[in-house]
Amino acid sequence: MIAFGAVFALQITKFFNDVFRDGLNGLERNVQTEVQTGQGFGGQ
C-alpha cells in the first residue's frame, strides 16, 4: 500500500512538473514577443 502511494505521488509530481514547465515556456515566449514588439506592456 505504501509503495502504491509512493508511485502515485511520483506520477502526480511528474505530471505537474511537465505542466509547470510548459507554462514557463509559454510565458517566456510571450515576454520575448512583448519585448521585441513593445506590445502588451502598459495595458495595451
Report pLDDT for 42.
57
What's residue 11's pLDDT? 95
Q: Which three cell numbers stand for residue 5?
A: 502511494
- Its pTM surpasses 0.85: no
Percent of residues in the chain assigned helix, strand, coil, to nearest 5 = 90, 0, 10
Question: Which pLDDT tens digit goes with each residue over 1-44?
Answer: 899 999 999 999 999 999 999 999 999 998 888 888 877 665 55
pLDDT (0 to 100) of residue 16: 94
Q: Specify the pLDDT at position 33.
A: 86
The CA distances from residue 35 to 13, 25, 27, in Å, are 33, 15, 12
pLDDT of residue 41: 60
